[in-house]
Structure 1
């Protein structure tokens, strides 16, 4: 059974209350039609439900989420997967700024571009590793202060001369890894990261996640993997240690 909700003119608190109450009563699948900026969709939900959003959700989609799958058939706004713990978010468009802020687990797949500070403060713990893949380009400060996780930029369909990421890429990064399809100009990097070649372990991890990404968006994995990747990793796990007295 699928619950269909017409979100036109529906206040976000009422919409989210309907979803939460129905999920508590056993509903497992929701379709939100005419979404137009309603915030916090899926936030804090810990059940294995599926939410399909037809329209543009508001900020903090999937914030604190712990299990659901959310599919967005349009663009998404800022703060997608903010501090998300588990689950999956699939955006069939572009997304705004600070996606994956403090993300602790789960997967965030964006078909198009992402804004500033994608993956900021992402972190991992043991086997709980967040994964963020953007098919387009990213704005400035991508991967800022990353403490863990996997962030992938593919740069698909970008115009000639358009960089795959803005300036200060990986600034303050002290954990995790960023995979870049193609080359990256070192002058755009933060001082805390270095550019390395991928080894066999990297290729295995990257292929695994890109296979799933391509299945969601009906893309050709072989075509994507035909271009070389580089990886960015932090030089130090404590880049600002010298600033403290202890």
Structure 2
């Protein structure tokens, strides 16, 4: 079956009342599991290609393999768990729900993120959290260069080393409320901070770019 036929069959089964659907041998096809706007337990027994599980609002998805670029783009609600690695722009424009990768992720993960949570069990590539507006990103491994570049709001937590911070991304202090949330959220997916949640590095917006267009040219140079 080709990708569009697989998606059509998922919708047909969902309409017939099935609450748990398993796709065997997805063969890394692109754009599978997209546009699902209902509660559904959906398992992919293998890897997906580009744009998997985008534009979803409610399903609980488990991918027993890897995913390509832009997995869960514009996800509104639900849960997506990937057992292995993910490509670039993982969770682009994420708006809600939990997006979990047990392995490494590529560059620009969480770009333009507007809500929800991204959990990463391994390393994250360059420009993770780029132009992030809301939500939380938790990286248990190392983070690549320009972490949180042009961060407007939201929070990033890192368990390993940070190659460099991007423009307007600054360290913050983890609160007791955040530590409790981190413990519960990680435990829900069988994950654990390498040295305890209290030793994660917290990154927030320095807010020097807020109302950026209102700055004078000299002030823009200082902010950058």
Q: TM-score, normalised by structure 1?
A: 0.82
Name the residue aligned to 2:128: 142
Name the residue aligned to 2:112: 121
Name the residue aligned to 2:182: 206
* Residues 190 and 239 of structure 1: CA distance in aligned 2, closer, same or farther (over 3 Å): farther
Alpha carbons 1:172, 1:239 under 8 Å: kept = no
Name the residue aligned to 1:191: 167
- Determine the C-alpha separation between the residues in 2 that align with 1:177 and 1:237: 16
Would you say 1:93 and 2:69 are equivalent positions?
Answer: no
- Determine the C-alpha separation between the residues in 2 that align with 1:237 and 1:41: 40
* Residues 153 and 226 of structure 1: CA distance in aligned 2, closer, same or farther (over 3 Å): closer
Alpha carbons 1:183, 1:229 under 8 Å: kept = no
The offset of 1:54, in angstroms, is: 1.0
Give every structure 1 segment of 4 or more consecutive aligned residues whose post-TM-superposition deviation is greater than 6 Å: none
User: Where do 5+ consecutive residues of structure 1 fail to align?
Assistant: 1-9, 125-129, 156-163
Worse overlay, 130-139 or 232-241:
232-241
Task: Report SS of the residue matched to 1:30.
Answer: strand
Name the residue aligned to 2:67: 76
Task: Report SS of the residue matched to 1:36.
Answer: coil
Q: TM-score, normalised by structure 2?
A: 0.90
The offset of 1:237, in angstroms, is: 7.6
Task: Report SS of the residue matched to 2:13.
Answer: helix
The offset of 1:184, in angstroms, is: 2.9
Would you say 1:166 and 2:141 are equivalent positions?
Answer: no
Question: Would you say how many aligned residue pairs link Structure 1 and Structure 2?
Answer: 216
User: Where do 5+ consecutive residues of structure 2 fail to align?
Assistant: 217-224
